[in-house]
Chain A
Amino acid sequence: MLGLGADLLWAHMNRLLGFLFHQGVLDEHFLQLHHLQDESSPSFVSEVLNIYFHESEKLLNNLRSLLMDRDFSDYNKMRIHLNQFMGSSSSIGAKRLTTVCLAFRAATQHSNRPGCLRALEMLEHEYCYLKNKLHELFQIEQQRALAAAARYPLQNNQ
């Protein structure tokens, strides 16, 4: 019964992952993270993603602070933050987020402040969506691991 629960959760996880790939939210670099996880680093993926969320929120706050500054004119500084955000987002397979970063970068290259503001709003929205979906994925994975680890005494004796 619990084994069946683990199977159902596994199917649910794969459906969600498939959906995220199909929608272009994630790409193969996300799978690569899982391939890098091994016995020597069993929590590699969750550790990397926690760092990503922490650093990304700092970068997004920096970008917003720059744009909200009435005297803002340093598009180069903005591009540095964006390049960092793009580098880390693409490294975890956040494909759609990286695409929004590209549009944002194009706006900075034209010193287009309204364009940058619109791009920032899209970036914040996209980031929230990604974070929520990845948390959902992790929750299902944790539930599946718990369900798979639980054993009936009868099963243990077989």
Chain B
Amino acid sequence: MDSHKLTALVVDDDRMVRIIHGKMLNSVGVKNQVVQNGKEAINVHLSGQTFDLILMDLDMPIMNGIEAIKELRSMGICSTIAGVSARSMESHIQEFMEAGLDEYLEKPLNISKLTSFIHKFYVTN
């Protein structure tokens, strides 16, 4: 699938990170929206919107990444979800993966990591 036909949701409480990740997705032709926490991500889906990709931060106020992913998966959301965090401890990453992630990407994200991730799920599958 051409990345220009993909849509994405960026979920991060850090405004600067939302801007950078949104810009990166734009630069590879992926239309995207940004929200500030897990609760807003749930609400966007409850409003009827769906996305091919979700970039989900781990530590966020109101609802964190783990809680949000569990909720999204229980709602039947099958989007490809990448957890994006500065955390590096194996146990934290494991917990994040077990919540329902398809991939874990350690911050900082770059174009190369992003395009590899997109290729992995939308070119080979």
Contact = CB atoms under 8 A, between A and B. Distances in A.
Interface of A: 28-29, 32-33, 35-36, 41, 44, 47-48, 51-52, 55, 80, 83-84, 86-88, 90-93
A80 B20 contact: no
B93 to A, nearest CB: 13
A84 B19 contact: no
Interface residues of B, number: 21
Contacts of B71: none
A84 B59 contact: yes
Nearest to A86: B86
Contacts of A88: 14, 16-17
Contacts of A32: 110-111
Contacts, number: 58
Given A32-B110, A32-B111, A90-B86, A44 B16 contact: no
Contact of A29 (B14, B85, B110): B110
A32 B115 CA distance: 14
Nearest to B15: A51
A91 B107 contact: yes
B87 interface: yes
B107 A36 contact: no
Contact of A83 (B16, B85, B108): B85
Nearest to B58: A83
A44 B57 CA distance: 22
